[in-house]
C-alpha cells in the first residue's frame, strides 16, 4: 500500500474510534427535583425515597409506583402502589422491578441511604 492509503485508513479508524465511543450514559439519579414520570433503573435508582410532603400545602402529593409507563398513567392496572396525601414526610420503596415512579406536588425527593446491617465485628 502507499503512504497516502495508510494515512486515510488511519484517519477513518480514528474517526470510528471517536464516534464509536459515544457519550457515556448518565447514572440513574438519587434525587428528584420536580414533578414527572421517572423510569426506574434509567432515570432514578430503585430504593427507599423520601419527600418532605406537598410542595403546595393547598394540594395533595400524588405519587405512584408503576408496572408500565404509558399515556398519562391513570390506568389503575398500571399502578402497583400509590398515595394521595397532604401529610409529610413521605417514604416510598421503589423496587427494581417497577417500570416507573410518578410524582406530582410532592416536593423534592431524595434517596435514603440503606441502613447498615450486621455487627461489624461487635
pLDDT in tens, 34-55: 999 999 999 999 999 999 999 8
**Selected residue with higher pLDDT from 67 and 20:** 67
* 50 neighbors 93 (Cβ within 8 angstroms): no
For the stretch 24-37, pLDDT in tens is: 567 999 999 999 99
| Bridge partner residues of 84 (DSSP) | 62
Average pLDDT over the chain, rounded to an integer? 82
* 90 neighbors 55 (Cβ within 8 angstroms): no
Amino acid at each position: 500500500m502507499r503512504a497516502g492509503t495508510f494515512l486515510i485508513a488511519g484517519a477513518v479508524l480514528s474517526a470510528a474510534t471517536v464516534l464509536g465511543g459515544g457519550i457515556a450514559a448518565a447514572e440513574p439519579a438519587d434525587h428528584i427535583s420536580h414533578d414527572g414520570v421517572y423510569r426506574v433503573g434509567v432515570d432514578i435508582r430503585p430504593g427507599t425515597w423520601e419527600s418532605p410532603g406537598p410542595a403546595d400545602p393547598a394540594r395533595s402529593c400524588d405519587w405512584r409506583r408503576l408496572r408500565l409507563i404509558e399515556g398519562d398513567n391513570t390506568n389503575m392496572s398500571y399502578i402497583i402502589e400509590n398515595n394521595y396525601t397532604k401529610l409529610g414526610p413521605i417514604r416510598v420503596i421503589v423496587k427494581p422491578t417497577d417500570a416507573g415512579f410518578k410524582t406530582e406536588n410532592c416536593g423534592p425527593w431524595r434517596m435514603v441511604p440503606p441502613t447498615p446491617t450486621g455487627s461489624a465485628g461487635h
